[in-house]
């Protein structure tokens, strides 16, 4: 009997331990700890390397402070989700974290990010950042909440071997959508076993569908997704329908991959790892970071890619001004609004983003520099042979309208492309579906007909 | 010293207290939280993450107007009926029956093969199924060897592929339940029926099955609830696509809550799922009571 009572008591004690373990940590730690959350994947280790370097540097300079690196192994979408979940509670929120530029505005609205203006004033390096890149960390109230790490642009990457075999002279410089179709048809006629010109579409590739595909088309027609001045989403635009029609042509004439392949979320791995190196793909729209996959130490090492691959700006529809379109994203470092020691956290941020660390990160991950001193460094310019070409696209590049409605709108665009390439809707029908979806998401007073 | 009756009564409940506490904290808590959140516009990010407001039945009204919801509901019912109630349950029963008659060696080999799929963690099983059905996967390679043209199964028949994968993965459970139940059927009863001239089918229908009714109902309840909650398998194989053709309710709830950051709406979907599960549970419990009386 006593034995049972003991067991019961021990169970209760165990439960009590479990329950108290759930309550927030005791803040009374003698030594200070900074939690740093960031993304790390098999193919993206550049940030991990950089933060380890920054940790060493910072801990050496600040005795008694330990930096706890918390890598999150996930793709971009899942990383965003995990980070947002961690930020919801002050007890799990990191002090410093890696933040996607297109989440900055909505996370500021949510109160997750610390306003940095007063800290930035005292940081002399801040003047060395590009104004365009600085804007990516600014919220609706005009304050700056995040410091950019790097940016990217999108362009057409093409395999010179495939193009020369089809009798197209390189360097290839398409001036209009028609030029793209002409080249793709030539490649197809020459070798039906090659995918001539792929553009991502459908929900499988997520943001890749819109950033490396649909938006290049849409903005090249002169249309817009969002009217920044009016603060309204554009519906009923002819450019939207035209862009879908272009995708339909590509997929219907089998100039792109089959719809089934397009909807596989892993297709980009085949693009970088199989099709380009084996000359099975003519061209595709991809980010300026493409060489990071092929260079030494990348996930799909390809000695000689410098000779085989070429890069060209994505043209506007009929070659109208400014002649080319590109999209930019990019990531930042931000501080948690609930950090206990903002000065220390900011100090870590400045260490992580100093010239040396920025340069190493920018080169290793094939980013486009946002610091002028990095951009002028020979180490950056010699990083990979396409740095100059993709960096020049900054002059025509666009950013996503990153309001908190954006993820849903983006999903509606992806759905429209999926309906068109699978043939379940015509471009006109899919555009009408999109208009209805947007109106449903933001309300008719937040849409504008153009 | 004599303990007062009331106190003794309380002490008798003491041993279950930890279990009840754990259940309250880890089971009832989240369920209550989900119901509560489904009446708000709570978000993962944006203004509504900071101070979510009460929106009453708005999320449920939106759910009824959402064209994806009826499709998702239908797919979930299909998935549960096809792969759990029919697939896992029947196949498990048939296997268990056949294994009773098979040679021990055959029975051991079949048993191990079937249980192997069950032993795999869900994520591993899901990747295995993806590798099997995907465009240049095992199935198509086998078909090519046989000289048959392949299909992109995950694209052309996504729900079919997922259901087969779930049957493959879950049948072991039903098989084990039924093997245990069949072992409890006394040989004398079956022999007596045989003496009375009952044929194989008759013995199965009138003797064996009625005697394991309780196990059938329990098994049905467990596989239904397990299948209702399947997420990893669907997410890894198709992520709900193409064009929502395999978006079951758990996937829909995940997409809404985490991909679109609309926790209020996502939990409304999850609440519907909880209600469906509860309804199934009630029906089975009622059946179980009947079979006992």
> What is the enclosing helix (H) or strand (E) of A342?
helix A342-352
**pLDDT tens-place string over residues A282-308:** 999 999 999 988 988 788 999 999 999
Domain count, chain B: 1
Tokens of B131: 């590798």
**Residue B136, domain member (yes or no):** yes
Between chain A and chain B, the number of residue pairs with CB atoms below 8 A apart is 94
Report the chain A residue with the minimal C-alpha distance to residue B261. Answer: A81
Alpha helix positions (H), A34-73: 46-61
Share of chain A above pLDDT 70, in %: 93
> What's the pLDDT tens digit per position in B228-250?
989 999 999 988 878 788 999 99
- pLDDT bracket for residue A23 (50, 70, 90): very low
Return the percentage of chain B with pLDDT > 90, whole number: 47
Residues of B with CB under 8 A from a CB of A: 14-15, 17-18, 21-22, 25, 43-47, 49-50, 134-135, 152, 154-156, 239, 241-243, 258-262
Print the domain residue range for B189.
68-292
Give me the CATH topology for the region A154-328+405-449.
D-Maltodextrin-Binding Protein; domain 2 (3.40.190)
**What is the CATH architecture assignment of A32-152+329-399?**
3-Layer(aba) Sandwich (3.40)
pLDDT at residue A382 tops 90:
no
Domain boundaries, chain A: 32-152+329-399, 154-328+405-449
| CATH number assigned to the domain comprising residue B198 | 1.10.3720.10
| DSSP labels, A366-431 | TPBP-BHHHHT-HHHHTSSTTHHHHHHGGGGEEE----TTHHHHHHHHHHHHHHHHTTSS-HHHHH
Q: Which of B228, B278, B280, B220 is nearest to B249 (CA)?
A: B228
Residue B168 within a domain: yes
In a domain, B13, yes or no: no
- Tell me whether residues A260 and B17 touch, CB distance under 8 A: no
- The answer to whether the beta carbons of residues A69 and A40 sit under 8 Å apart is no
Q: Do B25 and A263 touch (CB under 8 A)?
A: no
Please tell me the distance from the alpha carbon of residue B22 to that of residue B29, in angstroms, as a whole number. 10
Q: What is the dihedral of CA B118, B82, B61, B271, to 10 degrees?
A: -30
- Asked if the Cβ–Cβ distance from B50 to A107 is below 8 Å, we say no
pLDDT at B293 (0 to 100): 57
Determine the pLDDT at residue A27: 44
Q: What is the mean pLDDT of chain A?
A: 88
Three-class secondary structure of residue A358 per DSSP: helix
Do A32-152+329-399 and A154-328+405-449 agree at the fold level? yes
Burial category of B51 from C-beta neighbours within 10 Å (exposed 0-12, middle 13-18, buried 19 and up): exposed
Do residues A95 and A335 touch, judged by C-beta distance below 8 A?
yes
Domain assignment present for B284: yes
| Residue B284 neighbours by CB distance under 10 Å | 18
Tokens 């991809």 sit at which residue?
A: A286
Q: Is A227 left (phi over 0), alpha (psi -120 to 50) or beta?
A: beta
Cross-chain residue pair B22–A15, CB shorter than 8 Å: yes
**Where residue B292 falls among pLDDT bands split at 50, 70, 90?**
low
Indicate the average pLDDT of chain B.
89
Cβ atoms of residues A410 and A205 within 8 Å: no
Instruction: Give me the residues of A, 185-244, that contact B with CB < 8 A.
Output: 202-204
- For β-strands A447-449 and A397-399, DSSP reports them as unpaired
Q: Are A106 and A402 in contact (CB under 8 A)?
A: yes
**Does residue B53 fall inside a structural domain?**
no
Task: Give the mutation candidate from A99, A404, A437, A438 for the B interface (greatest B CB count, under 10 A).
Answer: A404
**What is the arithmetic mean of pLDDT over A224-231?**
88
Residue A30 has pLDDT above 60, yes or no: no
Rounded distance between C-alpha atoms, residue A107 and residue B155, angstroms: 35
The answer to whether A12 contacts B156, with C-beta atoms less than 8 Å apart, is no
Cβ-defined contact of B47 to A112 (cutoff 8 Å): no
pLDDT tens digits, one per residue of B127-140: 999 999 987 888 98
Do A38 and A73 touch, CB atoms closer than 8 A? no
Is residue B273 within 8 A of residue B250, CB to CB? The reply is: yes
Distances (CA, A) of A233 to A133, A236, A449: 24, 10, 9
- pLDDT category, A102, cuts 50, 70, 90? confident
Phi, psi for A41 (deg, rounded to 5): -130, 175
> What's the token pair of residue A5?
């009572």
Contact between residue A218 and residue A400 where contact means Cβ atoms under 8 Å apart: no
Residue A20 Cα, gap to closest chain B Cα (Å): 12
Q: Which of B20, B26, B45 to mutate to test the interface with A (most CBs of A within 10 A)?
A: B45
- Residue B149 covered by a domain: yes
Q: Is residue B40 part of a domain?
A: no
CB A257 within 8 A of CB A198: yes
Distance of residue A408 Cα from the nearest chain B Cα, in angstroms = 6
> How distant is the Cα of A105 from the closest Cα of chain B, in angstroms?
8
pLDDT digits (tens, 9 = 90+) for B87-109: 999 999 999 999 888 888 998 99
Q: Do B155 and A404 touch (CB under 8 A)?
A: no
Which whole number is the average pLDDT over A160-170?
93
Beta bridge partners of A281: A195
Rounded CA-CA distance A413/A427 in Å is: 12
Neighboring chain B residues of A19 at a CB cutoff of 8 Å:
21, 25
- Angstrom distances, CA of residue B192 to CA of A142, B187, B207: 88, 9, 10
Provide the 8-state DSSP code for A305: H
- A404 with B239: Cβ contact below 8 A: no
Mutant choice from B242, B254, B257 vs A, greatest count of A C-beta within 10 A? B242
| Structure-model confidence comparison of residues B2 and A86, the more confident one | A86
Judged by CB atoms closer than 8 Å, whether chains meet at A204 and B241 is answered as yes
Give the three-state DSSP class for A356.
Answer: helix
Task: Tell which residue, B90, B70, B95, B75, has the closest CA to residue B223.
Answer: B90
Choice between B23 and A11, residue whose per-residue pLDDT is larger:
B23
Tell whether omega for the bond before B199 is within 30 degrees of 0, i.e. cis: no
CB atoms within 10 A of CB A184: 25
Q: Give the pLDDT score at A99.
A: 93
Give which of B202, B184, B182, B186 is closest to B92, Cα–Cα: B182
A112 vs B45: CB contact, 8 Å cut-off? yes
So what's the pLDDT on residue A395? Answer: 85
């Amino acid at each position: 009997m006593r034995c049972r009572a003991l067991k019961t008591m021990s169970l209760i004690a165990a439960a009590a331990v479990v329950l108290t373990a759930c309550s927030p940590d005791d803040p009374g730690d003698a030594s200070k700890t900074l939690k740093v959350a960031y993304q790390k994947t098999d193919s993206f280790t550049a940030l991990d390397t950089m933060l380890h370097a920054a940790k060493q540097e910072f801990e050496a300079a600040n005795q008694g402070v330990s930096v706890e690196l918390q890598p999150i192994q996930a793709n971009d979408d899942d990383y965003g989700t995990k980070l947002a979940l961690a930020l919801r509670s002050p007890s799990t929120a990191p002090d410093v974290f890696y933040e996607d530029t297109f989440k900055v505005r909505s996370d500021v609205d949510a109160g997750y990010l610390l306003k940095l203006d007063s800290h930035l004033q005292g940081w002399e390096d801040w003047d060395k950042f590009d104004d365009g890149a600085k804007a990516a960390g600014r919220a609706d109230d005009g304050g700056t909440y995040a410091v950019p790490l790097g940016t990217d642009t999108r362009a057409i990457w093409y395999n010179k071997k495939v193009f020369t075999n089809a009798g197209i002279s390189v360097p290839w410089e398409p001036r209009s959508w028609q030029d793209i179709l002409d080249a793709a048809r030539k490649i197809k006629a020459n070798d039906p076993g090659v995918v001539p010109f792929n553009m991502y579409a459908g929900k499988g590739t997520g943001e890749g569908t819109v950033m490396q595909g649909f938006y290049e088309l849409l903005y090249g027609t002169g249309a817009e997704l969002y009217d920044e001045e009016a603060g309204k989403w554009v519906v009923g635009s002819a450019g939207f329908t035209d862009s879908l029609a272009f995708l339909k042509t590509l997929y219907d004439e089998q100039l792109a991959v089959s719809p089934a392949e397009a909807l596989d979320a892993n297709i980009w791995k085949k693009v970088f790892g199989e099709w380009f190196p084996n000359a099975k793909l003519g061209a595709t729209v991809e980010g300026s970071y493409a060489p990071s996959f092929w260079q030494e130490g990348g996930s799909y090492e390809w000695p000689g890619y410098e000779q085989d691959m070429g890069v060209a700006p994505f043209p506007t529809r009929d070659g109208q001004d400014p002649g080319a379109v590109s999209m930019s994203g990019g990531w930042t470092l931000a501080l948690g609004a609930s950090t206990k020691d903002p000065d220390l956290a900011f100090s870590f941020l400045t260490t992580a983003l100093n010239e040396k660390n920025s340069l190493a990160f920018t080169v290793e991950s094939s980013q486009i520099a946002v610091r002028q001193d990095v951009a002028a460094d020979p180490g950056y310019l010699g990083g990979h042979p396409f740095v100059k070409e993709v960096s020049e696209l900054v002059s025509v590049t666009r950013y996503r309208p990153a309001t908190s409605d954006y993820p849903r709108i983006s999903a509606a665009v992806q759905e429209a492309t999926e309906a068109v390439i699978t043939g379940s809707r015509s471009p006109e029908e899919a555009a009408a579906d999109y208009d209805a979806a947007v109106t449903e998401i933001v309300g008719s007073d937040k849409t504008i007909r153009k | 010293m004599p303990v007062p009756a009331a106190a003794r009564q309380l002490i008798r409940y003491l041993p279950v207290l930890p279990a009840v506490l754990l259940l309250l904290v880890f089971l009832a808590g989240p369920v209550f939280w989900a119901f509560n959140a489904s009446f708000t516009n709570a978000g993962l990010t944006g203004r509504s993450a900071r101070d979510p407001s009460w929106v009453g039945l708005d999320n449920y009204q939106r759910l009824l107007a959402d064209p994806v919801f009826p499709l998702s509901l239908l797919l979930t019912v299909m998935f549960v009926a096809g792969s759990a109630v029919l697939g896992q349950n029947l196949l498990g029963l048939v296997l268990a029956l056949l294994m009773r008659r098979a040679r021990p060696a055959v029975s051991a080999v079949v048993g191990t093969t079937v249980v192997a799929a069950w032993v795999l963690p869900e994520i591993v099983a899901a990747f295995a199924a993806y590798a099997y059905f995907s465009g240049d996967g095992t199935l198509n390679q086998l078909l090519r060897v046989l000289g048959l043209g392949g299909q992109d199964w995950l694209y052309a028949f996504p729900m079919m592929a997922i259901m087969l994968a779930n049957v493959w993965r879950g049948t072991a459970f039903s098989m084990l339940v039924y093997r245990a139940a069949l072992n409890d059927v006394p040989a004398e009863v079956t022999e007596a029926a045989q003496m009375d001239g009952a044929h194989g089918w008759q013995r199965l229908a009138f003797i064996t099955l009625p005697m394991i009714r309780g196990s059938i109902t329990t098994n049905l309840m467990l596989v239904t609830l397990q299948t209702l909650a399947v997420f990893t398998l669907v997410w890894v194989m198709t992520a709900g696509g193409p064009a929502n053709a395999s978006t079951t309710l758990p996937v829909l709830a995940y997409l809404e809550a985490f991909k679109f950051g609309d926790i209020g709406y996502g939990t409304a979907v999850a609440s519907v799922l909880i209600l469906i599960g509860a309804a199934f549970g009630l029906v089975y419990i009622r059946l179980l009571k009947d079979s006992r009386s």
